[in-house]
């Protein structure tokens, strides 16, 4: 069953971002792969074929590009694909222990899906959230940050019980009354001296 047949608006939106040339069409490859993967949890052979026709190349080419990136999967993933950051800042905050606890609790290893189809796991590299280490990413939804053992188990229970994943959106510093404050409302940063914008020229 072709995936994109009834999704003309999606296709139009994707192709409209790139030039209407051979090279431009090819640029749609990554967004098309993501579209399929987000819907199906992975990219089946049939869809590699379908995408290759859409962008004017071969399925082998599509596969070759896909294999370059760690985000695309050629095998099914669980409903919740849990990706643990294993890079230095997270390792310093205990990501090894987090990974062991996660895989032991779920009794699973990378490449597998738990029998209830709910979970799959993957170790990944730095996710750009080193300030809230250790952290993990759930599917293509968002991050769980500053993950303690308790937080991990609460999250897994929540997901097992049919709950939805709500990502953290913690900002380490915020503004209030012209002053930067941290999450504990300590003052940080400069005092925002008054500055006059330059006048408009002419």
Residue ranges that bind ligand FES, judged by CB under 6 A: 85, 87-90, 126-130, 133, 135
Smallest separation (angstroms) from another protein to the CB of 67: 9
| Beta-bridge mates of residue 179 | 176
Residue closer to ligand FES (CB basis): 126 or 181? 126
Residue closer to another protein (CB basis): 1 or 12? 12
CA–CA separation, 10 vs 13, rounded Å?
5
Element (H, E) at 102: helix 95-106
Element (H, E) at 51: helix 45-55
**Residue 44: which of another protein, ligand FES, none does it interact with, CB under 5 to 8 A by kind?**
none
Residue closer to another protein (CB basis): 15 or 119? 15
Smallest separation (angstroms) from ligand FES to the CB of 172: 13
**Residue 72: which of another protein, ligand FES, none does it interact with, CB under 5 to 8 A by kind?**
another protein
Residue closer to another protein (CB basis): 1 or 171? 171
Q: What would the two tokens of residue 39 be?
A: 């819907």
Smallest separation (angstroms) from ligand FES to the CB of 154: 21
For residues 142 and 167, is the Cβ–Cβ distance under 8 A?
Answer: yes
- Strand ranges (DSSP E) for the chain? 80-85, 119-124, 136-138, 142-144, 173-176, 179-182, 187-188
């Amino acid at each position: 069953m072709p995936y994109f047949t009834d999704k003309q608006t999606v296709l139009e939106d994707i192709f409209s971002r790139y030039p209407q040339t051979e090279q431009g069409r090819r640029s749609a490859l990554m967004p098309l792969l993501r579209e399929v993967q987000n819907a199906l949890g992975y990219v089946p052979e049939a869809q590699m074929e379908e995408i290759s026709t859409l962008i004017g190349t071969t399925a082998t080419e599509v596969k070759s590009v896909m294999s370059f990136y760690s985000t695309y999967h050629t095998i099914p993933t669980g409903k919740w694909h849990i990706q643990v950051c294993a890079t230095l800042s997270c390792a310093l905050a205990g990501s090894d222990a987090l990974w062991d606890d996660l895989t032991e609790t779920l009794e699973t290893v990378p490449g597998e899906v738990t029998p209830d189809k709910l979970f799959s796991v993957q170790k990944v590299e730095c996710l750009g959230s080193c300030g809230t280490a250790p952290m993990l990413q759930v599917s293509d939804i968002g991050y769980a940050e500053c993950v303690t053992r308790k937080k991990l188990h609460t999250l897994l229970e929540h997901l097992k019980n049919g709950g939805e994943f709500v990502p953290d959106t913690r900002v380490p510093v915020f503004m209030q009354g012209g002053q930067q404050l941290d999450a504990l409302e300590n003052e940080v940063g400069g005092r925002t001296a008054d500055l006059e914008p330059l006048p408009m020229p002419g």
